[in-house]
Structure 1
Amino acid sequence: MHIDFEGMAPQNIYHILTQTLIPRPVAWVLSENPDGDYNLAPFSFFTPITSNPPLLMFSVGKKPTDGAFKDTRVNIEQRKRFVVHIAHRELAPAMTETSRTMPHGESELANTDLELTDFEGFELPRLKDCRVAMACELYDIKEIGPTPQTLVFGKILNVYVADEAAKHDDKGRLVFDAAAIDPIGRLGGSEYVTFGEVLKIPRPI
């Protein structure tokens, strides 16, 4: 099947992209609301960008109800700090719950049993049960397209990895156990993929 995007409606293109660009990692982003509690939302248009400086990027659409900017974008633009988590399979239902559209300033955490804990060396907390969390400061915001879609670029200041997923190899290098992190990936529709077989194929020299 050949699919030509020329003249196709954006929502149909989105439907195709989310089923073919798979699996996608999910940025589970915590930001601070105006009254001091926290917004939490998942975004699957997400990737690392550079290591010098250490940057990540995720894409934020608008609220489907009224076309307003989503709280994540507003909070980060105003307060410049946020935390990106990588969820594992047991957290998939809670992560999906936090995708619910809510009035500005209301916290998604109120609808879950998720707990926060101090993020060492950072002013915002992190999710206690996530095995990976990245403390970020806003690096840049770009708007793309007629909607527009917001690209949020974050500079990673430090990273938390659960002890059970971190170790040193026989050369003393720090390595992380992907199976212990057990990340989930986004597919199309309501589907996620869980961690499976690891293929280890050395790169050519």
Structure 2
Amino acid sequence: MEINPTELSEQQVYTFMCSAIVPRPISWISTVDARGVTNLAPFSYFMGVCCTPMTVLFCPVFGSEERPKKDTLLNIEQVPEFVINVTQEKTVVAANLSGAPVPHGESEFDLVGVTPEPSTRVRPPRVREASLALECRVQDIIEVNSGPGGGWVVLGTVLAIHAQDGIFDPQTMRVDLGQLQPVARLGGADFLRATDVFPLHRYRTEDDAAALVGKEG
């Protein structure tokens, strides 16, 4: 079967993408507007970009004809900073609730009952209950399409990392998955726990790959 996406409705494309591009890590993003009012919202169009400088991206999508840009995007246009709070099993219910429609100017921190913790390098607070958080400065905002079904790509430079004690090894810089207990997004109402993990050898050189293929053959 071959599908031409241009022949599908916006909802059909959305449903396909959300069920096919899986699992997706969930960034729980805190921002502030020019008046200092906080906002907190989950995004599953989120990923790392590169290491130098440490860069991440997330993608706000078109809201509605009345308000094409949602609060997160409006806020970072006013105050070009944000915090990515990693969504975990212990916070996923609150993160999911923070995605509910909230009147403009009201804070999701109050709605979901989490604690705003002052950041060290940016103005938006981080979520105290999150075990891992990245303070970021907006590097660029790329508009893909500002109409229905469209969205933006926000690139952010990471200025500071906050990690709960014991969650990562400072020697290896590896985060302990068992301690973090991250949650990923699937399609529809489905989420995923990172509990079924298996290792595979990483091929670092051509000779390394050839040797291993020879052994397996």
Tell me, in whole angstroms, the C-alpha distance in 1 between the residues paired with 2:198 and 2:137: 34
Tell me, in whole angstroms, the C-alpha distance in 1 between the residues paired with 2:128 and 2:61: 27
Corresponding position of 2:116: 116
Equivalent residue runs for 1:181-196 within 5 Å: 181-196=180-195
Tell me, in whole angstroms, the C-alpha distance in 1 between the residues paired with 2:159 and 2:146: 32
Given residue 29 of structure 1, which amino acid in structure 2 is its aligned partner? I
Corresponding position of 2:94: 94
Tell me, in whole angstroms, the C-alpha distance in 2 between the residues paired with 1:34 and 1:131: 27
3-state SS of the aligned residue for 2:141? strand
Segments of structure 2 that go 5 or more residues without pairing to the other structure are 205-217
Tell me, in whole angstroms, the C-alpha distance in 2 between the residues paired with 1:165 and 1:104: 35
The correspondence for 2:159, drawn from 140, 150, 157, is 157
Tell me, in whole angstroms, the C-alpha distance in 1 between the residues paired with 2:146 and 2:33: 27
**Which string of whole-angstrom CA distances, capped at 9 and with x for unpartnered residues, describes residues 160-188 of structure 1?**
111121124xxx43321112111100011
Corresponding position of 2:176: 177
Segments of structure 1 that go 5 or more residues without pairing to the other structure are none
Corresponding position of 2:197: 198
Tell me, in whole angstroms, the C-alpha distance in 2 between the residues paired with 1:50 and 1:96: 28
Corresponding position of 1:166: 168
**Which string of whole-angstrom CA distances, capped at 9 and with x for unpartnered residues, describes residues 96-142 of structure 1?**
11111223222111211111223344443211110110000010001
Tell me, yes or no, if the aligned pair for 1:81 and 1:137 is still in contact at 8 Å: yes
3-state SS of the aligned residue for 1:6? helix
Report deviation, 1:145. 2.8
- CA separation of 1:122/1:66 partners in 2, compared to 1, >3 Å: closer, same or farther? closer
Tell me, yes or no, if the aligned pair for 2:32 and 2:123 is still in contact at 8 Å: no
Given residue 159 of structure 2, which amino acid in structure 1 is its aligned partner? L
Given residue 203 of structure 1, which amino acid in structure 2 is its aligned partner? R
3-state SS of the aligned residue for 1:163? coil
Corresponding position of 2:211: none
Tell me, yes or no, if the aligned pair for 1:82 and 1:124 is still in contact at 8 Å: yes
Given residue 167 of structure 2, which amino acid in structure 1 is its aligned partner? A
Tell me, yes or no, if the aligned pair for 2:117 and 2:127 is still in contact at 8 Å: yes
Report deviation, 1:2. 4.5
Report deviation, 1:202. 2.1
Equivalent residue runs for 1:18-29 within 5 Å: 18-29=18-29
Task: Please report the TM-score for the alignment, with normalisation by the length of structure 2.
Answer: 0.86
Identity fraction in percent:
26
Tell me, yes or no, if the aligned pair for 2:167 and 2:179 is still in contact at 8 Å: yes
3-state SS of the aligned residue for 1:93? helix
Tell me, yes or no, if the aligned pair for 1:29 and 1:83 is still in contact at 8 Å: yes
Corresponding position of 1:7: 7
